[in-house]
Structure 1
Amino acid sequence: MKPSIYITRRLPKTVIESLNQEFQVEMWEKEDVPVPRDVLLEKVSGASALITMLSDGVDTELLEHAKELKVVANLAVGYDNIDLEAAKQNGVVICNTPDVLTDTTADLTFGLLMAAARRIVEADRYIKEGKWKSWSPLLLSGADIHHKTIGIVGMGSIGEAVAKRAKGFDMDILYHNRSRKPEAEERLGASYVSLDELLVQSDFVVVLAPLTSETEGLFQKEQFQAMKKSAFFINAARGAIVNEEALTEALKTGEIAGAGLDVFVKEPIDPDHPLLSLENVVALPHIASSSTETRIGMMNLCVQNIQAVLKGDKPKTQVT
């Protein structure tokens, strides 16, 4: 019997062609609907490998059903949907897709910053809804980006890539991270500061930190009150890093000027969520890495990791 692989979302046939040649492959065929939990638990029972999405919880319950499982390839750089300790105890290799998505995510993050500051989405709606009747000096006037201060919370590879883009806009670059990065400071002209100092000084606070026990709920009412009233909050990391009620209140009361959000605590977000009713919020459906080239690259990396593990080799991007 060939080893069995289960893929939790429909991927292009060209991506999985090499897997089909060597293994028994089954795939959830609904592209925009997550695989139901009961189906996943059933399918994993005989699987040697999984390709998972962020919406798939790989926890103790799943691993107890997965007696043959050797590797999980998560189609993301983050892996907060996976219980790493349980996977280790069960001898399951966990892989992710770092590096391949760095520049694409940085492009989107900086684009989100620009869209929020310059009211681009609001202006698009304005003209399409037939509201543009004349030119006026302050029509939909936004905030400048050049020569402002950007504060990056989480200076990993994506944070560094965003800082590189900010440098092109002649921005002053501050960052807060678990550890200092002297090489990045020298190369990018970035300055390491405490989180409190970053919040006070930044015109744009950009969150790119991983979701951990230390970062969960990091942004509360006090953090937004510390920011400039003219500042913008950008989150392209994980929704749970932010108290969304506190953010909503800060935006409503003018504690901060606006927000650009690619992630939310609950995804998909409820269309009636208060954040989505605010004109000073640009909201995106978790698409930071979603260029065709990058997503295909991420898929190919998942395939390569699975092939390596099932053949007894070391995977390219092993988490644990």
Structure 2
Amino acid sequence: MEKNMKRSKEKKSKKKIWLWILGSLVAIFLIFIGTAYYAIQKTMNKINTPLIEAADNEGIEQKTVTKKEPFSVLLLGVDERKDDSGRSDTMIVVTVNPEKQTMKMLSIPRDTRTEIIGHDSVDKINHAYAFGGVPMAVDTVEHFLDIPIDYYVFINMDGFLQIIDTIGGVTIENDMDLTYNSYHFPKGDVTLTGDEALIFSRIRYEDPRGDFGRQIRQRQIIEAVMKKASSTSSILKATDMLEVVGDNVRMNFTMKDLIQLQSIYKKMDRNIDQLSFEEGDGTKINHIWYYIPNDAELQKIQAELKEHLK
């Protein structure tokens, strides 16, 4: 069953979710420059949040996207509910080498057991966000992969799904028949409202792939939202979309960075190398289930990402 999970995960990860998120955000902002500059600037002021190291609380010098210098991005999809700091259910690291016009994308299993930097503990990697927000999540991923993380994109999955109703629902290709309480999601194309998408994105135990299946569905929803949000039919709803984006997305990309990204990411659409953990094992420690990466495989992935950032 674990092998089936990995094969399904690897197949669906080719969705290029990172491209849709950054590319579509760029499209939404740039379409309205000149006609809705104030609204765009107001949203960017809310979204742009510089990164601060969790360990010493000192500001990190902000990097600027260029057409030559390699950089890395951590995408955090967080299931953050009322009165709950949430956990990062989706953690994707992307390294980009503009000069080589190549990109590498790695999904980190949320239950991966590792040292939580700044918390003096060993726990599931997705708990880093719950313990110390984006800074601790970034510090922990940097330590786990032994590479610097230059940028992050944070998405509050719960609140972000509000945009689905704003744009009139989204359609995704569901790869298996799923039922959760009164909700039924048949295999094939399924059109979802915001509430339905929220349930669909949280299903875990009803899917034999467990958390791997949930990650697949969350990526599908984010991709569908960003794709439709950047379509011509959604232009008239831009003000509402910007408001939802402003409330539920945080990143340390500036507007200048996003404009630069627009000219970079299109050239890399066919040059994405998908990396994944395939040789680790699941085990229980003190009655808690963890994913334990294979040391040799982890070192190989670390070396490949380091080389790509040169």
Could you tell me the TM-score, scaled by structure 1's length? 0.27
**Greater percentage in helix:** 2
**Greater percentage in strand:** 2
Q: Which has the larger radius of gyration?
A: 1
